[in-house]
């Protein structure tokens, strides 16, 4: 019984340690930087979506009279400036980061 | 080692190994955060998942010991017996201190792993230190269970049978209520972990809020469900006709709900206007710490409650952990105080921003008031040597003011404009709601209801419902003009495209119904009769005829039922069977009420003492007006939260 207990415990240990340290057994991916760039790109796209939704909300509030035009204009320009800045970063990724551009191109081809 | 001790010892080993893995997760995640190496982060992630796996093994093994009636395990002996139905053998897992801590720990690890797995690709910059925070929480609980409250401790010899679960916990609500509350409590660790990570890594834009929005709402949803089920359990199981007794443990569960509600509202200001960053950090720290404080109160014995676990030294550990969390969190907030400055300033008291701040003050104020009143008996004993007990009337009287304020703000917040509301906005938004609210108050007064809380609730209900209707119509109308859509199409699309906002409105509607249900309790009526078989009694429009007593001897308990015919007017509508059970193993009685529910009121039957000689039986009948609205409101609130959590249709379509 004691041997069976040790066996079960050793199996649990091996399973947990093996699973945890698995990334050490593989070589570090050469595409890691590209993957990281792609994640940054995705994050920016999500940020743009969030800002666009805020803009949509603001326009709805304005159209139903919840906000005066004096307040609406600066808030709108503030949001548009933020969207512009995020857009610029997205464009930078799409044009400057060649590896990322390739991934995006590949994704586009797959979609087509 | 015997066959009976084999699996409990594997469970104990699994728990100890989980402690080792949480320590490893902590070290590697800190290293990954400092070095920014992707491989290290990957290992930290996997170590967290491995910890969750080991805790799952330990939890399943403890459940299996309950199912196998292995009374060699002290915890199984303490909270189960052979006669208990299978469902209660499973729920006995959280029936006592050690098992409930293991269950809590396991849920926390599952939540942590799910949150990290979900954001593994999109928010990698926040992950390393978020994992660190999760690891610290897991280390604390694993350490506590391994060294102090091990649920796998064994007797030298197995007793023939166990002591069984507390009869009060042998109720279907108890199968869902504690897990739901625990999910709410552990769910708060996700926004807390990401918030702390944002502080450590100095990424204090709105990203961490966007990342944790779903998790915050989920935790809030589970806290709401947990509290509602707790009320339902108190209503049907404790037999006193009420649903909330301001018991310290109930208070411990409702406090984080208040601060989490404040957080959900105030993050909107940070997201839209870049304000309240400093406050939001404090709110999330407060919400998380209140979940730990609740556990401290429940388990330390500092407060007296029907729900409390046995008094133990575990409270000191929780107090230490709580203080450590507060000190480290506040130090981090202080360290980043410059980065947490608002990007904008308040421009007017008549603005959405200010309405949200008032809402936050009332919500956090309610939480602190409850905390103060809960701890008052303890402090009074410390200072004067006398324990001064604060009863429900004190809570009800003082919280009523805050509650009415919150109800009215539920209507003001969505309608008022950002920055500075114009006169036109105020006129357009609030004239009709005020008129309808006043009409509701007048109608209640005409019906002879002059209690100020009921009149205030009447005004609030009318006011808020009108604002919600107006807001819904205005959204649809704007789309009709903008896109030339029909009214029905515009209404559906407006809702689907902004489910976060409209889901929030549904939550508000749920709250309005809950408030109406609570106001009904002011006019609760209690009747008490001594009845012999054949006796008839009249209670307002109802007639009750007592038929006699029935008794059943079951393996687990002796059941005694009072049988009554219940009439509305002359019509027999139902046979009512209130009962008293006597649990043999625990030698403990319990009251089983029987309820006839109508939208207007519940007729609530309780069986009292029985004279065995004369068969004269005490029957309690309570009329609870509008109580159904409380449960319906709870359902609507949950529905609204679910709608709000769904991904936005407009985002999905563009994706």
Task: Say how far apart CA A58 and CA B343 lie, in whole Å.
Answer: 18
- Give me the residue from B3, B6, B42 closest to A23, CB to CB: B42
- Buried-exposed string B491-515: b where 16+ CB fall within 10 A, e elsewhere: bebbbebbbbbbbbbbbbbbbbbbb
Q: Residue B579's beta-bridge partner residues?
A: B561, B592
- Give me the residue from A2, A28, A42 closest to B1, CB to CB: A2
**Contact predicate B454/B444, CB 8 Å:** yes
Q: Which of B281, B105, B131 is nearest to B193 (CA)?
A: B131
**Shortest Cα–Cα distance, A86 to chain B (Å):** 13
Structure tokens at B477: 């109308």
pLDDT at B459: 96
Task: Say how far apart CA B277 and CA B343 lie, in whole Å.
Answer: 9
Q: Could you identify the residue written with the tokens 């609204």?
A: B640
Q: Which residue has the higher pLDDT, B31 or A63?
A: B31
Structure tokens at B263: 């957080």
Strand B594-597 and strand B601-610: the pairing is antiparallel
Q: Which of B255-269, B271-285, B298-312, B614-628 has the lowest mean pLDDT?
A: B298-312
Q: Which residue has the higher pLDDT, A101 or B227?
A: B227
Written as one string, the DSSP assignment of B276-297 is -HHHHHHHHHHHHHHHHHHHHH
Strand B542-553 and strand B571-576: the pairing is unpaired
Name the residue of chain B whose CA is nearest to A16's CA. Answer: B50
Residue B406 has pLDDT above 60, yes or no: yes
Q: What is the mean pLDDT of residues B650-655?
A: 45
Q: Calculate the alpha carbon distances from B82 to A35, B17, B62, B166, B189 in Å.
A: 56, 31, 16, 14, 37
Residue A109: pLDDT band with limits 50, 70, 90: low
Q: Do A49 and B654 touch (CB under 8 A)?
A: yes
**Shortest Cα–Cα distance, A90 to chain B (Å):** 15
Which residues of A fall within a CB distance of 8 Å from B42? Answer: 23
- Buried-exposed string B2-37: b where 16+ CB fall within 10 A, e elsewhere: eebbebbbbbbbbbbbbbbbbbbbbebbbbbbeeee
Left if phi > 0, otherwise alpha if psi is -120 to 50, otherwise beta: which for B241? left
Residue B328: pLDDT band with limits 50, 70, 90: very high
pLDDT at B114: 96
pLDDT at B655: 38
Residue A111 has pLDDT above 50, yes or no: no
Count of CB atoms situated within 10 Å of the CB of B609: 9
Q: Do A75 and B475 touch (CB under 8 A)?
A: no
Q: Which residues contact B454 (CB under 8 A, 6 or more apart)?
A: B444, B519, B522, B523
Residue A32: pLDDT band with limits 50, 70, 90: low
Q: Which residues in chain B (557-576) have CB-CB distances under 8 A to chain A?
A: none
Phi, psi of B625 (to 5 degrees): -65, 140
Q: What is the pLDDT of residues B198-241, one digit of tens each?
A: 999 998 888 888 888 899 999 999 999 999 998 988 888 777 77
Residue B71 has pLDDT above 90, yes or no: yes
Q: What is the mean pLDDT of residues B480-484?
A: 83
- The CA R_g of chain A, rounded to the nearest whole Å, is 25
Task: Say how far apart CA B401 and CA B423 lie, in whole Å.
Answer: 28
pLDDT at B585: 76
Q: Do A43 and B207 touch (CB under 8 A)?
A: yes
Name the residue of chain A whose CA is nearest to B272's CA. Answer: A54
**Contact predicate B130/B193, CB 8 Å:** yes
Structure tokens at B64: 């299996």
What are the contacts of B568-573 at 24+ separation with CB within 8 A?
B568/B541, B568/B542, B569/B541, B569/B543, B570/B543
Q: Do A64 and B10 touch (CB under 8 A)?
A: no
Q: Do B6 and A5 touch (CB under 8 A)?
A: yes
- What single DSSP character describes residue B626? T
pLDDT at B97: 86
């Amino acid at each position: 019984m004691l041997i069976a207990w040790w066996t079960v415990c050793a199996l649990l240990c091996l399973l947990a340690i093996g699973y945890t340290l698995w990334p050490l057994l593989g070589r570090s991916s050469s595409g890691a930087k590209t993957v990281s760039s792609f994640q940054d790109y995705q994050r920016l796209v999500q940020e743009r979506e969030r800002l666009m939704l805020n803009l949509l909300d603001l326009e709805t509030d304005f159209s139903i009279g919840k906000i005066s035009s004096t307040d609406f204009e600066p808030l709108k320009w503030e949001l548009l400036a933020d969207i512009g800045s995020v857009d610029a970063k997205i464009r930078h990724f799409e044009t400057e980061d060649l590896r990322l551009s390739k991934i995006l191109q590949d994704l586009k081809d797959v979609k087509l | 080692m015997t066959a009976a001790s084999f699996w409990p010892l594997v469970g104990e080993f699994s728990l100890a190994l989980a402690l080792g893995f949480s320590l490893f997760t902590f070290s590697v995640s800190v290293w990954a955060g400092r070095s920014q190496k992707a491989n290290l982060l990957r290992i930290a992630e996997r170590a967290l998942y491995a910890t969750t796996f080991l805790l799952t093994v330990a939890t399943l093994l403890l459940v299996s010991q309950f199912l196998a009636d292995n009374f060699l395990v002290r915890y199984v002996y303490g909270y189960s017996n052979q006669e208990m139905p299978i469902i209660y053998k499973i729920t006995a897992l959280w029936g006592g201190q050690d098992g409930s801590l293991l269950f809590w720990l396991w849920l926390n690890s599952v939540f942590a792993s799910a949150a990290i797995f979900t954001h593994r690709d999109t928010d990698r910059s926040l992950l390393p230190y978020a994992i660190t925070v999760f690891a610290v929480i897991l280390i604390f609980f694993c350490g506590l269970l391994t060294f102090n409250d091990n649920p796998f401790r064994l007797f030298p010899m197995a007793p023939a049978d166990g002591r069984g679960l507390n009869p009060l916990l042998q109720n279907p609500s108890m199968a869902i209520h504690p897990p739901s509350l625990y999910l709410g409590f552990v769910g708060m660790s996700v926004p807390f972990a990401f918030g702390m990570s944002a502080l450590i890594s100095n990424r204090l834009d709105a990203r961490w809020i966007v990342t944790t929005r779903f998790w915050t709402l989920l935790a809030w949803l589970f806290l709401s469900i947990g509290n509602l089920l707790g009320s339902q359990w108190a209503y049907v199981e404790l037999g006193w006709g009420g649903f909330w007794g301001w018991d310290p443990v109930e208070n411990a569960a409702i406090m984080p709900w208040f601060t989490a509600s404040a957080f959900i509202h105030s993050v909107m200001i940070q997201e839209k206007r870049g304000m309240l960053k400093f406050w939001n950090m404090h709110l999330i720290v407060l919400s998380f710490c209140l979940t730990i404080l609740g556990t401290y109160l429940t388990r330390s014995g500092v407060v007296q409650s029907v729900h409390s676990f046995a008094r133990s030294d575990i409270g000191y550990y929780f107090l230490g952990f709580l203080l450590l969390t507060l000190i480290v969190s506040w130090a981090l907030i202080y360290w980043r105080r410059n980065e947490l400055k608002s990007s904008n300033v308040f421009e007017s008291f008549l603005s959405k921003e200010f309405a949200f701040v008032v809402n936050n003050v009332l919500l956090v104020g309610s939480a602190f008031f409850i905390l103060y009143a809960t701890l008052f008996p303890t402090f009074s004993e410390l200072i004067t040597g006398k324990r001064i007990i604060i009863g429900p009337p004190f809570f009800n009287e003082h919280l009523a003011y805050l509650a009415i304020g919150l109800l009215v703000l539920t209507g003001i917040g969505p309608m008022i404009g950002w920055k500075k509301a114009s006169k036109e906005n105020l006129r357009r938004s609030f004239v009709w709601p005020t008129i309808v609210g006043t009409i509701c108050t007048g109608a209640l007064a005409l019906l002879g209801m002059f209690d100020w809380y009921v009149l205030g609730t009447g005004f609030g209900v009318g006011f808020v419902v009108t604002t919600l209707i107006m807001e819904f119509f205005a959204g649809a109308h704007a789309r009709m003009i903008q896109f030339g859509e029909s009214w029905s199409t515009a209404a559906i699309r407006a809702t689907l495209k902004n489910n976060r906002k409209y889901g929030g409105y549904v939550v508000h509607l749920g709250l309005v119904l809950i408030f109406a249900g609570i106001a009904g309790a002011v006019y609760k009526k209690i009747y008490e009769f001594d009845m012999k078989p054949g006796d008839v009694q009249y209670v307002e429009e109802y007639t009750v005829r007592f038929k006699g007593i029935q008794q059943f001897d079951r393996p687990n308990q002796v059941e005694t039922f009072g049988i009554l015919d219940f009439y509305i007017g002359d019509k027999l509508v139902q046979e009512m069977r209130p009962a008293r059970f006597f649990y043999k193993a625990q030698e403990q009685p319990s009251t089983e009420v029987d309820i006839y529910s109508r939208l207007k009121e519940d007729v609530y039957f309780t069986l009292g003492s029985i004279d065995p000689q004369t068969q004269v039986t005490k029957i309690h009948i309570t009329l609870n007006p509008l109580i159904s609205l409380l449960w319906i409101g709870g359902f609507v609130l949950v529905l609204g939260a679910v709608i709000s959590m769904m991904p936005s249709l407009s985002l999905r379509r563009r994706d």
